[in-house]
Amino acid sequence: MAEPLLRVENLKTQFFTDAGTVRAVDGISFEVHEGEIVGLVGESGAGKSVASMSLLRLIESPGEIVGGEITYKGETIFGLEEGPDGDLQRRDDMLSNEEMRTRIRGNEIAVIFQDPMESLNPVFTVGGQLREFIELNRDLAKREAKREAIRMLREVGIPDPEQRYEEYPHQFSGGMRQRVLIAMALACEPSLIIADEPTTALDVTVEGQIIELVDDLQEKYGTSFIWVTHDMGVVAEICDRVNVMYLGEIVEQAPVDDLFHATKHPYTNALLNSMPRPDRTVEELDPIEGVMPEAISPPSGCRFHPRCPDAREVCQRVHPEAKVVDQADGHSHRAACVKHDVFDAGYDESVPLEAEPQVTAGTPGGGEDR
């Protein structure tokens, strides 16, 4: 297989707060290949947004990337090595802050944020903001950038783009603003777009339109996407491969069909069972017991074990790293659960855990990740 566009290995991002160290992203690895839409799924607080912002090295204090390696098109976005004194230090070939800003952000990796209401600056025209980003990331002169901006507005399905160019964000509806943000991302001609819950703030009909639009444009431009969401329905519709995150870790990684039809991790299973579907009534929904623990003090062993229906005694002790449990269409199916034979942790002999009384806090959702 060709070299992936983006390779993330054992990435760790932590926040150093007064209450302690929050391990928001705790050793995740995944790849994005050219032309792929890769899902990053999980409940609120699983570390999806922090993971995606880490890729741009846009983690604000008190947060910091503390470990792992991010390689994009053969260049090192983040990497550590052992220094002469034995301490870890940043690698020499790691891109500088200035290089990140001028070469990576926007023109190589662009983002679409969750909240189209807040993401546009209220005091500048929509066209002006679009034009500024195009000028900055594509080295176009003002007039060409404006022409390009209008072309992109038309491309994302905004009627009267010449006129809308001059208007302010408050004159746009939520769906239209999200289209503007998509136009911004595509207009910079990046190879990778990180879409951080881009449809969460929209109502369902608009969500459908936006997903369709992205699907069409993705095909046309061949851009790769990292699609961050908590919505399994969206995942099914748009993603090629999926990473399921729980408490800062990727617990399952698989091509989308395998994930849905040959689910290997109890958490993914629970997520799928908690999803409303037309063929099931609300009573038949099976919400995940309890709430996700704080990333500041994760449970011992497998982090999902306190909420896991399949948990056994061994799950409290053994912390599983994701391993290949299956192969499908040249992609491996990884899962981090000791009940699979490859782990050989003695799951079958272990005694089941007594279900502890838990507060039922509903299904994954909410969308807010911060």
Partner 1 sequence: MGLLRYTVARLIQAIPVLIGITVITFILANLAPGDPVRLMLQGQQVDQEVIERVEQQYGLDRPIHERYVTYMANLLQGDLGHSIQRDRPVTDLVVQRAGPTLMLVVSAYAFALITAIPLGILAATRRNEPADHISRIVALLGVSTPSFWIGIMLILVFAIQLGVLPSSGLVYPWWGPDHYGYSGYPELLYQTIRHLLLPMVALGTLQMATLMRVERTQMIESLQGEYVKLARAYGVPERTILRKHAFQVAQLPIITIVGLNLSTALGGAVLIEYVFNINGLGRLLLEAIIGLDYQLIMGITVVIGTMFVIGVIITDISYAYIDPRVTYGDRE
Chain contacts with partner 1 (rule: CB under 8 A): 56, 58, 101-102, 104-107, 110-111, 113, 115, 118-125, 132-133, 136-137, 168, 170, 181, 184, 188
Q: Alpha-carbon torsion 197, 202, 203, 206, what sign?
A: negative
Q: How far is the CB of 114 from partner 1 (least distance, A)?
A: 9
Token representation of residue 204: 């369902």
∠ CA 164-165-170, rounded to 5°: 60
| CB-based burial label for 60 (10 Å; 0-12, 13-18, 19+) | exposed
Pick 177 or 340: Cβ nearer partner 1: 177
Q: How far is the CB of 229 from partner 1 (least distance, A)?
A: 18
Q: How far is the CB of 129 from partner 1 (least distance, A)?
A: 8
Q: How far is the CB of 103 from partner 1 (least distance, A)?
A: 8
Q: Which ranges of 224-264 does DSSP label H, i.e. alpha helix?
A: 232-238, 256-261
| CB-based burial label for 209 (10 Å; 0-12, 13-18, 19+) | middle
Specify the amino acid at residue 254: A
Q: Pairing between strand 224-229 and 192-196?
A: parallel
H or E segment and range at residue 53: helix 48-55
The three-class DSSP label of residue 332 is strand
Cβ atoms within 10 Å of 210's Cβ, excluding its own: 24
Pick 101 or 317: Cβ nearer partner 1: 101
* CB distance 302 to 308 below 8 Å: yes
Contacts of 253 (CB under 8 A, 6+ apart): 30, 241, 242, 243, 244, 322, 332, 333, 334, 335
Contacts of 153 (CB under 8 A, 6+ apart): 126, 127, 130, 161, 164, 165, 179, 180, 183
Pick 136 or 353: Cβ nearer partner 1: 136
Q: How far is the CB of 100 from partner 1 (least distance, A)?
A: 8
Pick 19 or 58: Cβ nearer partner 1: 58
Instruction: Report the DSSP beta bridge partners of residue 233.
Output: none
Pick 121 or 300: Cβ nearer partner 1: 121
Pick 185 or 210: Cβ nearer partner 1: 185
Q: How far is the CB of 56 from partner 1 (least distance, A)?
A: 6
The three-class DSSP label of residue 242 is strand
**Percent helix, strand and coil across the chain, each to the nearest 5:** 35, 25, 40
Q: How far is the CB of 58 from partner 1 (least distance, A)?
A: 6
Pick 132 or 289: Cβ nearer partner 1: 132
Q: How far is the CB of 351 from partner 1 (least distance, A)?
A: 48
Q: How far is the CB of 22 from partner 1 (least distance, A)?
A: 19
Pick 168 or 260: Cβ nearer partner 1: 168
Instruction: Report the DSSP beta bridge partners of residue 196.
Output: 228
Pick 122 or 159: Cβ nearer partner 1: 122
